[in-house]
Amino acid sequence: VRLTFSGSALGPEAAVVQRQLTRFAERHPGVDVELRVTPDAADQRHQLYVQWLNARAPDPDVLQLDVIWTAEFAGAGWILPVDAAVLDVDDFMPAAVTASRWRGTQYAVPWFVDLGLLYWRTDLVPAPPQSLSELREAARRLREAESARFGLVWQGARYEGLVTVFLEHLVAFGGGILDARGRVIVDEPAAIRALTFMRDAIAPDGFVPSSVLTWQEEQTRFAFQNGDAAFMRNWPYAWALLQDRVRSQVAGRVGVAPFPAGDGGRPAAALGGAELAVNAWSAHPELAWALVGFLTEPEQMLERARLAAQLPARRSLYGTSALAEALPIPIEQVRRLLDAAVPRPVTPVYNELSELLQVRLHRALSGQQTPPAALREAALEIRALLARSGLASDEPTP
């Protein structure tokens, strides 16, 4: 029997996943597990998956999904629901579980998570800002004192990263994109306050450079790593690179904290990461689920944390010293982020929803539209999208 697994094999991931697949095969005599390598770029992998699954290909049996794809694949009937008797998701982070459900059914098992966070310079401020207004004041002050060229940097290019940054501001002001019933709330006052804060940060406040509107993760990391920025919003991957004394000018002077709350909201960490699902046309679904179960066992997650520095999706691991030793990033700083995790909207048309939103956000941030007008039109477009896709809010949602 041959099982195929398809997922990301970037850098150290390739070695970890190959090792774990081999171990699984050793435990199941007569089973062969093949690693099918897919493109590194998430967009391209998504495109490939859609083509395979649309053609009802029986392989790959097990798919590594980005958290924002699960609803789409579940809605299309391309992946099997998780059998609760086989896999219990009680131990997993609630935000990750939410992201892997569609219409009340669990379709994937969270594997590892990614959380947006605020990097700050321990030599410039004594403690991380506790609120967005504190962050603004500190960023402004440090820039005016010329301690840093930029106050704060985030990912503002017109791509998925911009939506995660916006989501963190949004939750910080108590807003959201869709509510629990799937209604569009991205044009409500809290959202307008959030986007206005982001726009003002670029101009007139100026503590965020306008060039962030062309920056993705790496450009912000370079700015922070060269000592040009006092604060940076980024993902955990940057930690180890920033601590590299050879390449980084800020090694040993970096702390992380949740992105702080504004008025009427809470600290938020946009949730990214990966989940494992089983192809609906797999010839060996039971064996495929066994592989999913194996890969999401605590031991495998710990090994992944140690070798690829990816955060496990199981909550209980964060109380263990094993994880503390495995992760490069200090675990007590990570623990505070877990409660702040917020998933992006769970809907089969997420990709298009996000794309519509990216355009409007980018227009507002580059001064082509006011934040209220941009969000009003974004909401109209998203409502039209949901209606056209038969997903309007009167239908049952999780």
Nearer to another protein, 203 or 322 (CB): 203
Nearer to another protein, 61 or 381 (CB): 381
Select from 160, 163, 229, 227 the least CA-distant residue to 194.
163
Decide if residue 333 touches another protein (CB under 8 A).
no
Applying CB under 8 A, which of residues 16, 89, 93, 157 lies at the interface with another protein?
Answer: 157
Decide if residue 140 touches another protein (CB under 8 A).
no
Decide if residue 249 touches another protein (CB under 8 A).
no
Decide if residue 359 touches another protein (CB under 8 A).
yes
Applying CB under 8 A, which of residues 22, 54, 105, 249 lies at the interface with another protein?
Answer: 54
The nearest distance, CB 99 to another protein, in angstroms, is 17
Select from 377, 190, 211 the least CA-distant residue to 268.
190
For residue 328, which phi and psi values (nearest 5 degrees)? -70, -30
Quote the tokens at residue 212: 């962030």
- Burial-class residue 45 by CB neighbours within 10 Å (0-12, 13-18, 19+): buried
Site string for another protein, 57-86 (x = CB under 8 A): ---------------x--xxx---------
Applying CB under 8 A, which of residues 91, 200, 303, 352 lies at the interface with another protein?
Answer: 352
Angle between the N-to-C axes of helices 285-295 and 12-27, in degrees from 0 to 180, rounded to the nearest 10: 120
Dist. CA 114–CA 209, nearest whole Å: 25
Decide if residue 199 touches another protein (CB under 8 A).
no
Decide if residue 366 touches another protein (CB under 8 A).
yes
The nearest distance, CB 306 to another protein, in angstroms, is 36
Decide if residue 163 touches another protein (CB under 8 A).
no
> What does the DSSP 8-state code read for residue 391?
-
For residue 116, which phi and psi values (nearest 5 degrees)? -70, 135
Q: How many helices (H) and strands (E) does the chain have?
A: 15, 13
Applying CB under 8 A, which of residues 161, 360, 379, 386 lies at the interface with another protein?
Answer: 360
Are the CB atoms for 258 and 267 separated by under 8 Å? yes
Decide if residue 45 touches another protein (CB under 8 A).
no
Dist. CA 393–CA 16, nearest whole Å: 42
Applying CB under 8 A, which of residues 184, 348, 378, 382 lies at the interface with another protein?
Answer: 348
Evaluate the omega torsion of the peptide bond into residue 204 and state whether it is cis, within 30 degrees of 0: yes
Instruction: List contacts with another protein (CB under 8 A).
Output: 43, 47, 50-51, 54, 72, 75-77, 157-159, 202-203, 206, 209-211, 213-214, 348-349, 351-352, 355, 359-360, 362-363, 365-366, 368-369, 389-390
